[in-house]
Amino acid sequence: MKKLSWNRLVLYAVLMSFVIKSFEEIVNFMHMKNVLKFTLLFVLMMQSCSENAELSGTIDLDAGADWKPTVYLIQPEKFDDVAQSFVGNVLDSAQVSKNGHFELINLPAYEEPVLLELAVQRKGEKYPNRLTNENPKTDNYFPLIYQPGSQIRIEADIAHFQSTFAIEEPSAANKALLQLRDIRLKVYERYLAGIEEDHGADEDLLEREKNVYNFKMELIDFSDSTAKLLPAMVALRWASPEGNYERVAELVYKQSEKWNTLYPEHAWVKELAMVADKRNLPILVGDLIPETQLPMKDGVTTSLQTLLENQKMVVLDVWASWCAPCRVENRNVLVPLWEEHHENGFQIVAYGLESSEKAWSNAITKDGAHRWLHASHLQGDQNPFMDALRLTTIPANFLLDEKGEVLAKNLHGEDLVSFVTNYMEKQ
């Protein structure tokens, strides 16, 4: 049952006193004038209740047989809480009437604009703060910005809550959120809608990775283009609700610098600064690859910097014999690149996340990767090299010049071929 606020209880008590008094007048006087006075008073009281609602609106329940006719108001208290399930503070809830109307009255007394999330839940869901980020067409919540003292009126279809969410005369900040939602819908259709429909072929895995990157990039581009802090924070969280920014490290680092300049004291900006600290991100483009010792396949330990000497470009490739897209890239991309450019100062140094020397050697031979240099600690994916690069995901690569500066990273397929070819032709 919905917990009533003290102000609402007082309001209902006053209303009931008028109702009782009016019925007493009807009983005592049996006069139509008193009946009319009672009816008018009741309508005025109900109208006053509606006008005092800080957040209200209409939710279409026609396609909502599987949904609870209830809306939940949630506050994400930290940057990491935005768009994240089970962590937001549930402030209030309201029943949706049969005609779709709901009201939320007496929000907390905020002193500045705050990001809130309005959510609906399927029947049987135990947690009112469960938020889905599976498909923006049907995701069950929408973030909005509440300005103290303002009133917000919304409309939505309960079964397509996020994609149909509309705000009557939205503020500039809420207009930015609606624009961000529309971008998210478009880029989802462009890059991710069919991702589960492919056949999972090895050749498709890197293309899928590229699509995920492009999806994240366009959302972060919105953050880069807007002057509104809270919508920008939503864009960053929507880019990766799970908080994994490894593949878009440069973009997130840039955003942290931007917002730290504009709002250095904002708690969420400080949180973002911690996430985007270089010590918590993989080596960035433009940085120098750290000095590290590599146990080479021939048994000799060599510094990576030594391997860069006298080379115009080195692709530092992080792979594994058990990584299907890595194996495809070996055969289809790296072998032809090495054959074409090696004599002109191009080299590949491949670090394997291996625990079996036999499996490692077999993969090198089968893929034709014996042409270039190989190293591994033979400690699987928990090894000093991954720690030094601050990596957790493969396939990964760093394109280095002779000084060890990162020229580019995580390029695959035609993107890798094009970058290497253009760079080598200019040397």
In this structure, the answer to whether residues 38 and 81 fall within a common structural domain is: no
Q: Is the pLDDT of residue 50 over 90?
A: no
Instruction: Categorize the per-residue pLDDT at 312 as very low, low, confident or very high, splitting at 50, 70 and 90.
Output: very high
Total number of domains in the chain: 4
Same domain for 307 and 421? yes
Of 222, 245, 280, the position where a domain reaches its end is 280
Same domain, 379 and 405: yes
Q: Flag the least confident range among 44-48, 244-248, 370-374.
A: 44-48
Tokens representing 275 are 């996430």
What element of type H or E holds 256?
helix 249-262
370 shares a domain with 272 = no
Domain assignment present for 177: no
Cβ contacts of residue 410 below 8 Å, gap of 6+?
A: 213, 247, 396, 397
What CATH number corresponds to the domain at position 303? 3.40.30.10
pLDDT digits (tens, 9 = 90+) for 134-156: 999 999 999 999 999 999 999 99
Average pLDDT value for residue range 407-420: 97
Same domain, 201 and 107: no
Q: Residue 76 gets which letter from DSSP?
A: -
Same domain, 148 and 209: no
With beta carbons less than 8 A apart as the criterion, state whether 62 and 158 touch.
no
Distance between CA atoms of 213 and 202, rounded to whole angstroms? 18
Q: What are the φ and ψ backbone dihedral angles of 288, each rounded to 5 degrees?
A: -90, 140
Q: Looking at residue 168, what is its pLDDT? A: 97
Quote the CA–CA distance of 129 and 123 in Å, as a whole number: 14
Based on the domain organization, do 65 and 163 belong to the same domain? yes
Residue 300, pLDDT score: 97
Q: Are residues 113 and 217 in the same domain?
A: no
pLDDT tens for each residue of 277-296: 999 999 999 999 999 999 99
Residue 106 pLDDT grade (very low, low, confident, very high; cuts 50, 70, 90): confident
Query: Is 33 in a helix, a strand, or coil?
Result: helix
Please, which pLDDT band fits residue 205 given cuts at 50, 70 and 90? confident
Q: Are residues 160 and 128 in the same domain?
A: yes
What does the DSSP 8-state code read for residue 122?
B
Of 143, 169, 195, the residue at which a domain comes to its end is: 169
Which domain CATH number covers 60? 2.60.40
Tell me: pLDDT of 179 over 60. Answer: yes
Which domain covers residue 364, as residue numbers?
293-426
Q: Are residues 217 and 335 in the same domain?
A: no
Cβ contact 307:272 at 8 Å = no
Query: What pLDDT score does 52 carry?
Result: 76
Query: Does 234 share its domain with 312?
Result: no
Q: How far from the centroid of its chain's Cα atoms is residue 54's Cα?
A: 28
Tokens 């397929």, residue located: 413
Q: Report the distance separating Cα 9 and Cα 15, nearest Å.
A: 10
Residue 288: the pLDDT is 97
Look at residue 416 and tell me whether its pLDDT is greater than 70: yes
Q: What separation in angstroms does the CA of 32 have from each of 37, 40, 149, 337?
A: 9, 12, 40, 95
d(CA 2, CA 140): 20
**CA 341 – CA 314 distance, rounded (Å):** 11
pLDDT for the residue 44: 41
Evaluate if residue 166 carries a pLDDT over 90.
yes
**Reduced DSSP (H G I as helix, E B as strand, rest coil) percent helix, strand, coil of the chain, to 5:** 45, 20, 35
Q: Give the span between the Cα atoms of 236 and 223, in whole angstroms.
A: 7
Among residues 135, 169, 203, the one where a domain terminates is 169
- pLDDT for 204 equals 76
Pair 59, 24 in one domain: no
